[in-house]
């Protein structure tokens, strides 16, 4: 009987350890998703990233903005790719401007221990509307509508 009770106690402790690990992993994955959504919303809310797109590019054509201010402690985020993906053939992201309607944002969020990471792709639709009836096609005279149209994890 003592052996049976010892076996039950060991099984109960092991079960609790497994359950706590599952809950912990779930919480980390939810925090990764929230952090990824924060980065996506941060990019989508700032129209300057679209209007002055070349200003945020390195010479190789990689898009970069500092995300440390919006990333929670214990996590790091980086933009893997941000470029237009219209059906025209583009040599590089250096050719992207406001004439392109379809954009793709790929970000990666990971915990600082390096044990968990999440890569998310956000499709973006950019629409421009003239604010007045003149033939002025400058950026200042246009209203931009930026929408997230599809989202998936890779």
pTM over 0.75: yes
Q: 3-58: per-residue pLDDT in tens?
A: 887 877 888 777 777 888 888 889 989 999 999 999 999 999 999 999 999 999 98
At residue 83's C-alpha, the angle toward residues 54 and 95, to 5°, is 50
Residue 64 scores a pLDDT above 60: yes
């Amino acid at each position: 009987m003592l052996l049976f009770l010892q076996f039950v106690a060991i099984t109960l402790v092991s079960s609790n350890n497994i359950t706590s690990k599952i809950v912990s992993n779930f919480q980390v994955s939810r925090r990764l998703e929230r952090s990824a959504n924060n980065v996506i919303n941060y990019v989508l809310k700032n129209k300057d990233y679209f209007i002055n797109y070349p200003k945020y590019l390195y010479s190789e054509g990689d898009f970069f903005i500092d995300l440390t201010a919006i990333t929670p402690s214990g996590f790091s985020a980086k933009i893997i790719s941000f470029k237009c993906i219209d059906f025209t053939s583009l040599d590089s992201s250096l050719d992207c401007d406001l004439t392109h309607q379809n954009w793709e944002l790929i970000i990666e969020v990971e915990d600082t221990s390096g044990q968990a990471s999440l890569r998310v792709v956000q499709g973006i639709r950019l629409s421009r509307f003239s604010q007045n009836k003149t033939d002025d096609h400058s950026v200042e005279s246009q209203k931009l509508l930026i929408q997230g149209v599809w989202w998936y994890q890779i």
